[in-house]
Amino acid sequence: MATIYKNYTLLFLSLIFLSSCEKTVSFQLNNAETKKLVVDGQIETGKTPIVFLTNAIGVTEPLNFNTVINSIARGAIVEVSDANRTIQLIELNNAYQVAPQDSSFVGVPGQVYKLKIQYLGKVYEASTKIPIVKSLDSMWAVKRPITNGADSNEVTIFARYTDPDTLGNFVRYFTKRNQEPFFTARNSVYSDEIINGTSFDVRLERGYDKINDTSTNTFSNFIIGDTIQVKWCAIEKSVYNFWNTLEFSTNSVGNPFSSPSAIMSNISNGALGVWAGYGSSFKTIIVVK
């Protein structure tokens, strides 16, 4: 299930990148642009690397299951390196994953990991570091006020976080509700540009499946009885820039007052997407009455 969801995440990105062009008044479609490689790769503390590759889907192409499946980039040579060795990933379940003999190759905080992709005669490269994470201090639930009708079972989750006293820390968070996978909310990344070195309280919105969940009234809420796990991840600035600009672009779609924004990638040679290192920590809360 987790593998399927990650596939959906990447495919969603490949749609978003070029659909964001719709905010301009007029534009010329460039066939080379619609065939750009889209990279969704990550390596997390204690986990093996995984990379999804697709060809970007153009705004005039029909959005259906066959289009999505056909966009998957197959036959690439994908390598990941640390300071000591290089491994080649294999194609498995529509993704590039470690071979069984390389299962010990997992993310280590403080280490730098390089990605190299050879696809259709082009070479794409990227580098990411897994930062050392500063965990959340605490979490708690606050019952949402009653607006009308019967007593509400909805709660809002808050957390206290103490930022390190050195400027330049970036985080991304995910939430897991009961047996659901980890999902991100509409805004999942933060920087310490304003709050450097301070302790502050942050509201943690419920993550949701951006492909299948269209019930916008439940995007931010949890309910009494939920077991909630938060994955709080330290990330590099380049990874923050990618997710921040992507989320801004996604959340602005349909807003006539927003300006078109460039989505920042850390992949070379004109590819779209991100190669991300996540220094992860976890905290769990069970919501009781």
Q: Please give the residue that has the higher pLDDT: either 20 or 111.
A: 111
| Yes or no: domain 138-235+280-286 corresponds to CATH 2.30.30 | no
pLDDT per residue over 219-256, tens digit each?
A: 568 999 999 999 999 999 999 999 999 998 887 764 54
Beta strands in the chain (DSSP E): 37-44, 50-55, 77-81, 86-88, 90-92, 95-97, 112-119, 122-129, 138-143, 154-162, 170-177, 189-191, 199-204, 222-223, 227-235, 272-286
| CA–CA separation, 277 and 57 (whole Å) | 26
The pLDDT, as a whole number, for residue 151 is 59
Q: Which of 8-22, 68-82, 184-198 has the lowest mean pLDDT?
A: 8-22
Q: What percent of the chain has pLDDT over 70?
A: 77
Mean pLDDT of the region 265-277? 96
pTM for the full model?
A: 0.85
CA dist list (Å): 158 to 22, 105, 137, 152, 228 = 36, 35, 11, 18, 12
| CA–CA separation, 279 and 171 (whole Å) | 9
| CA–CA separation, 242 and 188 (whole Å) | 12
Are the beta carbons of 128 and 113 closer than 8 angstroms? yes
The pLDDT, as a whole number, for residue 17 is 46
Confidence band for 172, pLDDT divided at 50, 70 and 90: very high
pLDDT over 70 at 63, yes or no: no
Confidence band for 22, pLDDT divided at 50, 70 and 90: very low
Are the beta carbons of 201 and 232 closer than 8 angstroms? no
| CA–CA separation, 132 and 171 (whole Å) | 11
Show me where the domains of the chain are located.
Answer: 2-131+252-278, 138-235+280-286
Q: Please give the residue that has the higher pLDDT: either 176 or 56.
A: 176
The pLDDT, as a whole number, for residue 251 is 76
pLDDT per residue over 184-231, tens digit each?
A: 998 999 999 988 999 999 999 999 887 776 555 555 689 999 999 999
